[in-house]
Amino acid sequence: MRIGILGSGQLGRMLALAAHPLGHQVVVLGPKAHDPAMAVAEAIVAPFDDDSAIDELASRVDVVTYEFENVPAAAIARIALRVPVRPPRIALETGADRLAEKSMFRSLGIETAPFAAVDDEASLATAVRSIGLPAILKTRRLGYDGKGQRLLRTEADVPPAFASLGSVPCILEGLVRFDRELSIVGARGIDGSVVTYDVVENQHEHGILHVTRCPARAVPEAALAKARGAIEALLTRLDYVGVLAVELFLLGDRVLANEIAPRVHNSGHHTIEGAETSQFENHVRAITGAPLGSSRSIGASAMVNLVGRLPDLPRVLAIPGAHLHVYGKAERAGRKIGHVTVRATDDAERDLRLADMLALDHWSV
């Protein structure tokens, strides 16, 4: 088949690299000619609001997917008139709106931090009274990696917060004193079949994912079951096709859903080497109507994001079980420009190899 991808970053690149061996051709639409995905696919260089480019993409492919949440709704609607868009628009719309997302969790019985809608100064005051402090005020839309958020520690933080986020619709969330951040990635095929990857454990630095460990260390089975139950319920509710990620907080054996990403996800990058079938391949299989591949883990693995600048690559490649993924982006502070997955036979060996990787300390933001 011919696959169109909206977005030309590293996720599009890794999707394209997974699509070629399956016999597909890939056309990427993105704003810059030298973006990561452009080197491994046919390129349409244009902004996402360029109707003629959108039409050209639709005319050249059999199915369209996307690599980021904030695709303009108008572009998706325009494409959907001509070819299927997968995952479905409802997932994109829900994932792009923190309030709709949290409300969906609640309606499925998936536990979340306390939350309330904030549409103005008055509703912020009401929400603070209901949820208490500390709490986090987030824009409903367009926030990621710690952007578009304000931590409200004391009453003094409340009055300026709403205006400082641009007086746009927000959500106030109770600050959860969680033990660890987890996530789960799963895929659903056109036939409704579902696979879920092992629950992973994520560590962030400066609001950007730094390390993912697969499997997560010492998570109670009850919590793992809740994570699997949550993603299965979400995949079904959304009549989903493709890969979905759910970010979670672990508190004892409680699991609180934080947010979904209706796409392949940074916390699933380790699946390229660390699972029988990668998240990228399973996304491609799903959107093209093929059977899903096994999500079984291959040994234990850990992913380290390369942020800002590249480490000394020969030293990375000298680490046993290290697998390098460079995205072809220019170095810039705070920018994800690659990742390294270390694979090992068990958790202990994985953590030793991860320590070797982290000791290089060139990945600093």
Burial grade of 126 (CB within 10 A; 0-12, 13-18, 19 or more) = middle
Q: Residue 216 CB, nearest distance to its own copies (Å)?
A: 22
Q: Residue 317 CB, nearest distance to its own copies (Å)?
A: 5
Minimum CB distance to its own copies smaller for 40 or for 257: 40
Report how far apart, in Å, the C-alpha atoms of 353 and of each of 61, 272, 326, 358 are.
42, 17, 19, 9
Minimum CB distance to its own copies smaller for 61 or for 116: 61
Count of other CB atoms within 10 angstroms of residue 246: 28
Minimum CB distance to its own copies smaller for 20 or for 332: 20
Q: How many residues does the chain have?
A: 365
Nearest to 230 by CA among 66, 101, 142, 85: 101
Minimum CB distance to its own copies smaller for 219 or for 306: 306
Q: Residue 315 CB, nearest distance to its own copies (Å)?
A: 9
Which residues lie closer than 8 Å to 239 by C-beta, 6 or more apart?
A: 88, 90
Q: Residue 351: what residue type?
A: D
Count of other CB atoms within 10 angstroms of residue 360: 15
Q: Which residue has the tokens 């934080």?
A: 258
Binding site for its own copies (CB under 8 A): 13, 17, 20-23, 25, 39-40, 276-277, 285, 289-291, 293-294, 298-299, 310, 313-314, 317-318, 320-326, 328, 338, 343
Q: Residue 324 CB, nearest distance to its own copies (Å)?
A: 6
Widest distance between CA atoms in the chain? 58
Q: Residue 1 CB, nearest distance to its own copies (Å)?
A: 10
Minimum CB distance to its own copies smaller for 114 or for 293: 293
Minimum CB distance to its own copies smaller for 88 or for 189: 189
Q: Residue 86 CB, nearest distance to its own copies (Å)?
A: 17
> What is the torsional sign of CA 154, 158, 159, 161?
positive
Q: Residue 212 CB, nearest distance to its own copies (Å)?
A: 17
Nearest to 4 by CA among 54, 64, 50, 48: 64
Dihedral pair phi/psi, residue 86, rounded to 5°: -135, 135
Cβ proximity of 353 and 359 under 8 Å: no
Minimum CB distance to its own copies smaller for 212 or for 258: 212
Cβ proximity of 282 and 195 under 8 Å: yes
- 311 token code pair: 């480490």
Report how far apart, in Å, the C-alpha atoms of 365 and of each of 142, 205, 308 are.
22, 8, 5
Minimum CB distance to its own copies smaller for 49 or for 331: 331
Q: Residue 350 CB, nearest distance to its own copies (Å)?
A: 13
Q: Residue 20 CB, nearest distance to its own copies (Å)?
A: 6
> What is the torsional sign of CA 80, 82, 83, 84?
positive
Minimum CB distance to its own copies smaller for 226 or for 343: 343
| Nearest-angstrom CA–CA distance, 312 and 180 | 30
- 268 token code pair: 């699933």
